[in-house]
Amino acid sequence: MVSLATRHVMQANKSKNTKPELKVRAALRAAGLTGYRLHWKKAPGKPDICFPGRKIAIFVNGCFWHRCPHCNLALPKSNVDFWVAKFERNVSRDERDRLLLAQDGWTVLVIWECRLKKGRFDATMSDLIRQIRRASAPGARTQARVIEVGATAPWKLRERRVRARRRNRR
């Protein structure tokens, strides 16, 4: 038996061209969105996938390494200090890269790995493709921002809960 932490370390050794990245790339090609660059060195943070001409960067984030807000995965049981420091570094590097890209006029699309699971994959990909088309439209370049793809925003969830409560009261 390999411990959970060891398994994650082993997975991290092949952090490029991961299975989720390959699935996203296949979906882009199927939608006719070709011409992307992989881990392009000239863009801050070397995005997993990017369209330099349209200034669109896509990050496919593993939930464990990048500390997914949806999954909230537990810390490994041993070497806690080591892991906390490591995760803090990862998260602040992600933030810095997103900021640098946005400041430079890029649209940053973030996809959490858990949004690519069976049952969610298709919806996440159609959201991704919609966001790419929107960011590619004329004039869109001035609205650089960071967008999380395929997730329901917390404020939307709150709104939905409020609406449900109101319905129940009737």
- Interacting residues with Zn ion (CB under 5 A): 63, 68, 70-71, 112, 114
Q: Which is nearer to Zn ion, 72 or 142 (CB)?
A: 72
- Residue spans of beta strands (DSSP E) within 4-106: 37-38, 49-51, 56-61
Q: In DSSP terms, which residues pair with 161 in a beta bridge?
A: none
Q: Which is nearer to Zn ion, 106 or 112 (CB)?
A: 112
In angstroms, give the least distance from the CB of 110 to Zn ion: 11
Q: Which is nearer to Zn ion, 61 or 107 (CB)?
A: 61
Distance CA 140, CA 148 (A): 17
In angstroms, give the least distance from the CB of 100 to Zn ion: 24
Q: Which is nearer to Zn ion, 45 or 62 (CB)?
A: 62
In angstroms, give the least distance from the CB of 133 to Zn ion: 25
In angstroms, give the least distance from the CB of 33 to Zn ion: 24
Write out the H or E segment, with its range, that includes residue 148. strand 146-148
Residues in Cβ contact with 63 at an 8 Å cutoff, skipping those fewer than 6 apart: 70, 71, 73, 112, 113, 114
Task: Classify burial at 26, counting beta carbons within 10 Å of its beta carbon; exposed 0-12, middle 13-18, buried 19 or more.
Answer: exposed
